[in-house]
């Protein structure tokens, strides 16, 4: 059986994981041909001859069947993917940021050059969510996709809730374990989860949405007071990405902390695990759980894409045309917990209705209904003043 030759860009956590899987497992039809890196000085676990600093050595290499792009910089990643597709190479990438901003161009490039770009590893690590949305929820009436999309943030929250760990120690541990992005800011402020949500909007609802238009709020302002509040109410705080269809064909999307109680499927999703909950008309609630972070789980998703390319699999993006009457919207009112500092904060953030208000010496909160657009416009104020919000549902 012919071996598929892989041109691999990047030799970090996931790249090394992939190399190990490919070369330690029998029955896999792929092997690495050459590895493209940026820094030739860095100490590597393989001999020099495996590496090159020139992208063309892979992209224009006739021996290379598939290009696998696993670098961090999203602009360089885009160049590599674009040139590879233009050189008639099929490509696998895990770069969610690059994808979230460039999906439109990438779809056109695939069409123009009759090539295939797969990126299962970009969303929720080992969970096969993109392929399932492409293949399986095709003509079931999909209502909603939500879940925990950041293994790194979920690990931090688990440590803080279950082991009373501080944020700093939890973050450090997450980085040591290889769960964090190179820039942990993207995890912490919800951007990373947002990028994944944007990718799923395409495969779930056929929508191309600009990430900049979508509200996202992370856990950078989370305080132990918020954790105490949650624990007292027998709830946990999880960073939840959410997307659902309304009756008038709008698709609402946002990423923000959520106060979940024990009856919620996300309550017991802990550590680096991710979860995706799919709501559909006839199958009702489907839940997929798996490791969302770490070299091996992510590499296993890359491997599955490599394998799919060996039988010419490509995403069909069917829903892009099917559901042309759907559009992205932020026109929704949500129930929100807000921890604030002083009464003057409430003049900047307008609630439509207030259910609970609590003042004390060191802890003030309000629970009420607020429009998502109001959250979008007060986001900077919230962050600058270290206020914390979480959805209640």
Q: Which residues are catalytic?
A: 196
The residue among 109 and 301 lying less far from its own copies, judged by its C-beta, is 301
Binding mask 338-357 for its own copies (x = CB under 8 A): --------------------
Binding mask 287-326 for its own copies (x = CB under 8 A): xxxxx----xx-xxx-xx--xx-------------x----
Distance CA 76, CA 97 (A): 12
Please return the burial class of 281, using the count of CB atoms within 10 Å of its CB with bins 0-12, 13-18 and 19+: exposed
Task: Tokens for 390, please give them.
Answer: 């979480």
380 is a site residue for its own copies (CB under 8 A): no
Instruction: Kindly compute the dihedral angle of the four CA atoms of residues 170, 173, 175, 180, in this order, to the nearest 10 degrees.
Output: -50
Binding mask 24-43 for its own copies (x = CB under 8 A): -x-xxx--------------
> Which range in 62-70, 226-234, 247-255, 283-291 contacts its own copies by CB under 8 A?
283-291
The residues, ordered by sequence, that sit 6+ positions from 270 with a Cβ below 8 Å of its Cβ are: 154, 158, 162
Return the residue of 107, 177, 265, 326 that touches its own copies, per CB under 8 A: 265
Q: Please list every residue from 33 through 92 that binds its own copies, using CB under 8 A.
A: none
The residue among 21 and 256 lying less far from its own copies, judged by its C-beta, is 21
The residue among 212 and 246 lying less far from its own copies, judged by its C-beta, is 246
154 is a site residue for its own copies (CB under 8 A): no
Task: Tokens for 377, please give them.
Answer: 């416009």
Give the nearest distance from C-beta 5 to its own copies in angstroms: 16
Q: b/e for 81-99, b at 16 or more Cβ within 10 A?
A: bbbbbebebbbbbbbbbbb
23 is a site residue for its own copies (CB under 8 A): no
16 is a site residue for its own copies (CB under 8 A): no
The residue among 55 and 290 lying less far from its own copies, judged by its C-beta, is 290
Q: Please list every residue from 204 through 263 that binds its own copies, using CB under 8 A.
A: none
> Which range in 36-44, 121-129, 236-244, 369-377 contacts its own copies by CB under 8 A?
121-129
The residue among 125 and 368 lying less far from its own copies, judged by its C-beta, is 125
133 is a site residue for its own copies (CB under 8 A): no
Give the nearest distance from C-beta 333 to its own copies in angstroms: 29
The residue among 323 and 333 lying less far from its own copies, judged by its C-beta, is 323
For the chain, the first-to-last Cα distance in angstroms comes to 53
393 is a site residue for its own copies (CB under 8 A): no
Instruction: Kindly compute the dihedral angle of the four CA atoms of residues 305, 306, 307, 310, in this order, to the nearest 10 degrees.
Output: 120
Residue with tokens 């501080």: 166
286 is a site residue for its own copies (CB under 8 A): yes
The residue among 13 and 87 lying less far from its own copies, judged by its C-beta, is 13
Q: How far is CA 297 from the centre of its chain?
A: 14
Please return the burial class of 30, using the count of CB atoms within 10 Å of its CB with bins 0-12, 13-18 and 19+: buried
The residues, ordered by sequence, that sit 6+ positions from 369 with a Cβ below 8 Å of its Cβ are: 333, 334, 335, 336, 351, 352, 353, 355
> Which range in 4-12, 132-140, 334-342, 373-381 contacts its own copies by CB under 8 A?
132-140
> Which range in 138-146, 159-167, 180-188, 378-386 contacts its own copies by CB under 8 A?
138-146
The residue among 142 and 338 lying less far from its own copies, judged by its C-beta, is 142
Give the nearest distance from C-beta 200 to its own copies in angstroms: 16
Return the residue of 4, 110, 116, 126 that touches its own copies, per CB under 8 A: 126
- Residues at the contact surface with its own copies, assessed by CB under 8 A: 17, 21, 25, 27-29, 125-128, 131-132, 135-136, 138-141, 265, 268, 280-291, 296-297, 299-301, 303-304, 307-308, 322
């Amino acid at each position: 059986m012919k071996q598929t030759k892989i041109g691999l860009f990047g030799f970090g956590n996931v790249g090394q994981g992939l190399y190990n899987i490919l070369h330690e497992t029998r029955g896999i039809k792929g092997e690495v041909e050459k590895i493209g890196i940026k820094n030739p000085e860095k100490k590597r676990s393989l001999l020099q001859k495996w590496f090159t600093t020139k992208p063309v050595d892979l992209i224009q290499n006739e021996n290379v069947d598939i290009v696998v792009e696993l670098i961090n910089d999203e602009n360089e990643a885009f160049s590599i993917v674009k040139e590879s597709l233009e050189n008639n190479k099929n490509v696998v990438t895990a770069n969610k940021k690059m994808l979230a901003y460039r999906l439109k161009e990438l779809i056109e490039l695939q069409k123009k050059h009759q090539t295939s770009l797969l990126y299962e590893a970009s969303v929720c690590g080992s969970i096969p969510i993109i392929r399932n949305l492409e293949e399986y929820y095709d003509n079931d009436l999909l209502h909603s996709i939500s879940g925990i999309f950041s293994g790194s943030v979920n690990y931090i929250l688990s440590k803080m809730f279950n082991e009373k760990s501080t944020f700093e120690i939890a973050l450090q541990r997450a980085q040591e374990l290889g769960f964090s992005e190179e820039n942990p800011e993207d995890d912490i402020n919800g951007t990373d989860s947002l990028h994944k949500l944007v990718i799923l909007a395409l495969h779930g609802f056929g929508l191309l949405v600009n990430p900049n238009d979508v509200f996202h709020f992370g856990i950078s302002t989370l305080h132990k007071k918020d954790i105490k509040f949650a624990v007292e109410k027998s709830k946990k705080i999880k960073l939840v990405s959410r997307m659902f269809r309304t009756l008038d064909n709008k698709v609402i999307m946002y990423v923000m902390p959520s106060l979940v109680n024990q009856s919620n499927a996300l309550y017991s999703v802990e550590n680096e695990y991710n979860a995706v909950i799919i709501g559909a008309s006839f199958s009702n609630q489907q839940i997929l759980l798996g490791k969302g972070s770490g070299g091996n789980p992510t590499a296993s998703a890359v491997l599955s894409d490599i394998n799919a390319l060996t039988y010419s699999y490509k995403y069909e993006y069917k829903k892009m045309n099917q559901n042309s009457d759907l559009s992205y919207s932020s026109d929704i009112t949500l129930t929100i917990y807000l921890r604030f500092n002083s009464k003057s904060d409430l003049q900047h953030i307008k609630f439509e209705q207030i259910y609970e208000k609590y003042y004390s010496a060191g802890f003030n909160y309000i629970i009420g209904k607020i429009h998502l657009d109001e959250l979008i416009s007060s986001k900077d104020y919230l962050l600058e003043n270290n206020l914390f919000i979480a959805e209640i549902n």
